Amino acid sequence: MARWKKNYVGVAFAGSLALIAGGAWSWKNLNTEASRNADDTIMLSNFRPTDPQSISRGKYIMHTANCAACHTAAAGDFAGGYGFSTGFGLLLSSNITPDRETGIGRMTERQFFNAVRQGIGSHGMLYPAMPYTAYRKFSDQDMHDLWAYMSTIKTMRNPVKENAGMHFPYNIRFAMVGWNLLFFENSNFLKETDKPEEWNRGRYLVDAAGHCSVCHSPRNSLGAEVGSRYLQGAMLDKWYALNLTADNLDGLGEWSVEDIVSYLKTGTNGRAFAAGPMAEAVSNSTQYMTERDLHAIGVYLKSLPASDHQTSGSTRHNEAEMKRLADVYEIDCSACHGLEGEGIKGAVPAFSKNSQMRGDPTNMIHAIITGTRAVHTDLAPTSAGMPSFAWKFTDQDIANILTYICNNCENNASQVSSQEANKIRVEIGINSKLSRNKSG
């Protein structure tokens, strides 16, 4: 009996410590003390900013955070309804106009701070498709300026049931409390004092406003970023968000800071052209950023250690097949991309010595099957387009020509398989090569 009592007391004591630790952990992650300096009396719909410079800064913050891309759909600017296909169901973005009934017009500044930086919304906890996990690093000043700008945008009435398409139990918002306890870091952005100011500015823009890791870092089975693979590339809505580390194989190792600035400002730098979700980011966000800020981003990204990505090495067909594929390339590809894969400066990406040809082939397959168009920006208004070859190439044809291109332009890439091409074709719902009508 004495031993039983001793064990019981030990278990009870351990349980008490666990509850205390759990409570402390919960308090740390759910604590909204960071928003204490924000006003909690005036609703957004009633707020009338008097500082035009604050509004202007807020508009800049909106662009750096790329708010329009995710909160704009058929109903109008910032009115929500943009769909996110997740592994847990379809999630719709919310209406963030100052409408009192269907938007955020009833929010006070403090509530706005809590929503943007901590994922606590008007209807409960937000999902991390809204990158509050990154926005938590926003400064109070940037948040106040963003609040001032949001009060000036046009009110749009558009009711959105954001989580109606989410599968059970992921449609239960309260479950996000547990997710936050596991994965949300509730802390301010802290400068690294041993680093230059430009480097710290770049890190702030990448990790907070730009929320780059939300797309460019892989996620675990619960949808949280894998910290050990920070910015090392990830799948994103049937596209591949590229490796942003200083990796010479498939990252930015061969890019200069100026290459990064040009890409983010115009959508191209001669090596690559923004397409897919990255085209949206350039169009709605980075083209509006100052050269100084883009340079800071470049400086920070170039400082990141290279990932440990590896390929299986160069793959070459036999001589007869290489000759056949060279003819296919000359007929179908060389008019735009050049006989040596040199591309056309400012219009068509080069294949030669292009790190994007060495890694995940998803984007290249996507471009061949669906066609694509380079992003349109103020500094590069004429964007080149590529037609779809889905009608002409089988999955094996796509695998063969990409393997040829990736290994005939000084890239030493892995072999592309027909299974990879078929997987993407099926995912995006594009029919296979047209069959020849032999009835006539």
CA distance 226 to 224: 6
Residue 59 confidence (pLDDT): 97
Mean pLDDT, residues 48-72 taken together: 96
Residue 175 confidence (pLDDT): 87
Residue 12 confidence (pLDDT): 42
Residue 5 confidence (pLDDT): 41
**pLDDT band at 438; cut points 50, 70, 90:** very low
276 or 80, greater pLDDT: 80
Mean pLDDT, residues 270-278 taken together: 84
Distances (CA, A) of 281 to 27, 112, 127, 383: 35, 23, 20, 15
Q: What is the mean pLDDT of the chain?
A: 85
- State the burial class of residue 395 (Cβ atoms within 10 Å of its Cβ: 0-12, 13-18, 19+): buried
Inform me whether the pLDDT recorded for 415 exceeds 90. no
Q: H-helix or E-strand containing 125?
A: strand 124-125
153 or 390, greater pLDDT: 153
Coil, strand or helix: which one is 339?
coil
Q: Can you say how many angstroms the Cα of residue 209 is from the centroid of all Cα atoms in its chain?
A: 12
Cβ contact 350:358 at 8 Å: no
CA distance 404 to 398: 10
316-337 pLDDT per residue, tens:
557 788 788 888 888 888 888 8
Residue 410 confidence (pLDDT): 67
Coil, strand or helix: which one is 85?
strand
Range from 216-225, 287-296, 303-312, 359-368 that averages highest in pLDDT: 287-296
Considering the chain, what percentage of its residues have pLDDT values greater than 70? 88
**pLDDT band at 344; cut points 50, 70, 90:** confident
CA distance 336 to 346: 12
**pLDDT band at 434; cut points 50, 70, 90:** low
pTM, two decimals, is 0.87
Mean pLDDT, residues 128-144 taken together: 95
Q: Residue 72 pairs with which residues in a beta bridge? A: none
89-116 pLDDT per residue, tens:
999 999 999 999 999 999 999 999 999 9
223 or 314, greater pLDDT: 223
Determine phi and psi for 165, rounding to 5 degrees.
-95, 5
Residue 436 confidence (pLDDT): 53
Residue 432 confidence (pLDDT): 67
Mean pLDDT, residues 410-423 taken together: 82
Residue 17 confidence (pLDDT): 37
CA distance 107 to 97: 11
Inform me whether the pLDDT recorded for 223 exceeds 90. no
Mean pLDDT, residues 287-293 taken together: 97
1-21 pLDDT per residue, tens:
444 444 443 434 333 433 444
**pLDDT band at 26; cut points 50, 70, 90:** low
Name the residue type at position 133.
T
Range from 9-13, 178-182, 310-314, 376-380 that averages highest in pLDDT: 178-182
23 or 371, greater pLDDT: 371
Mean pLDDT, residues 170-188 taken together: 90
Token representation of residue 224: 């949280």
Q: Residue 124 pairs with which residues in a beta bridge? A: 121
Inform me whether the pLDDT recorded for 405 exceeds 70. yes
Considering the chain, what percentage of its residues have pLDDT values greater than 90? 49
Mean pLDDT, residues 184-191 taken together: 92
**pLDDT band at 440; cut points 50, 70, 90:** very low
Nearest to 416 by CA among 433, 399, 435: 399
Alpha helix (H) residue ranges in 81-174: 109-118, 132-135, 140-150
CA distance 247 to 254: 8
Inform me whether the pLDDT recorded for 368 exceeds 60. yes
Q: Domains in the chain, start-ordered, CATH in brackets?
A: 23-183 (no CATH), 197-302 (1.10.760), 319-428 (1.10.760.10)
Q: Other CB atoms closer than 10 Å to residue 253's CB: what's the count?
A: 15
Cβ contact 297:291 at 8 Å: no
